[in-house]
Structure 1
Amino acid sequence: MKLEMKQRTKRFAIDVWRLCSSLPHSREFNCYVNQLLRCSSSVAANYMAVGRTKSKPDFINKLKIVEEEGDESQFFLEVIEEINSNQELTTEIKRLIKEADEIVAIGVASLKTSRS
């Protein structure tokens, strides 16, 4: 497990948390924010767990969870980007969408490597 990716996924979860704390508090936003907080923190938690797996199937399973949760994070960030009216947050939302996409791509590449 690369320390860089462990730190990167943790940073992603923290940055998403910071973004979410800046979003409006309404029933509608809270629904998306709660989902985004769960899946982004799951990316980091499951990547950390990759380093403690006891078998190749367990390793692959944890990486698949990282991929799925990263993809879900990207989805909710894209939804928030579309409904966001605070232009000050737009740059950060776009950056986090890009980061989620890169994390997913790294997860997919790691899965391909581990399966071969």
Structure 2
Amino acid sequence: MAAVDDKRDFVSQLQDRTKRFVLRSIKVFKALPSNEEARIVGKQFLRSTSSVGANYRAVCRARSQNEFFAKISITIEEADESLFWMEIMSESGILPFEKLSALMTEAEELVKILSKARKNTK
């Protein structure tokens, strides 16, 4: 029974963590300069980050192992895409790296955690 409780705690904590990732991303989005390139990249960034939280919720509701695998794969892709857009924002000078580094670290950690969970389903 302890293993089941541990799994539930892990799932709940990861749901909270992915939601916080989205909320932190909204703050970054709001801090973007108001120019055309920032708006274009920012919208892509916000779509991918919000997809991480929404898709992880869907992972938790998967009705089969195949559905779980498919949905967690989407979540990993979106977390990695979020990281890509943060790299673009930093390297293009839209936002300084210092404003993005903590969120980039979180995205990297989420990719690793989710990838390990996916690997364990095989």
TM-score (normalizing by structure 2): 0.87
Aligned-pair RMSD on alpha carbons? 1.3
From the superposition, tell whether residues 83 and 52 of structure 1 become closer, same or farther in structure 2 (CA, over 3 Å).
Answer: same
For residues 22 and 94 of structure 1, the distance between their equivalents in structure 2, rounded to whole angstroms, comes to 15
Question: Are residues 1:15 and 2:28 paired?
Answer: no
Deviations 1:25-48 (A, max 9, x none): 111111100000000000000001
Deviations 1:15-67 (A, max 9, x none): 01101100101111111000000000000000011111111100001100110
Please list every run of 5 or more consecutive structure 1 residues that lacks an aligned counterpart in the other structure. Answer: none
Per the alignment, do residues 62 and 41 of structure 1 end up closer, same or farther by CA in structure 2, a change over 3 Å counting? same
| Structure 1 contact 81–94 (Cα < 8 Å) conserved | no
SS at match of 1:114: coil
- Shift of the 58–73 alpha-carbon distance from structure 1 to 2, 3 Å rule, reads same
Q: Of 79, 95, 108, which aligns to 2:102?
A: 95
Aligned residues between the structures: 113
Superposed counterparts of 1:1-116, under 5 Å: 2-84=11-93, 87=96, 90-115=97-122
Identity %: 35
Question: Residue type matched to 2:110 in 1?
Answer: I
Could you tell me whether the CA contact under 8 Å between 2:21 and 2:49 is conserved in 1? yes
Matches of 1:48 and 1:15 in 2, distance apart?
17
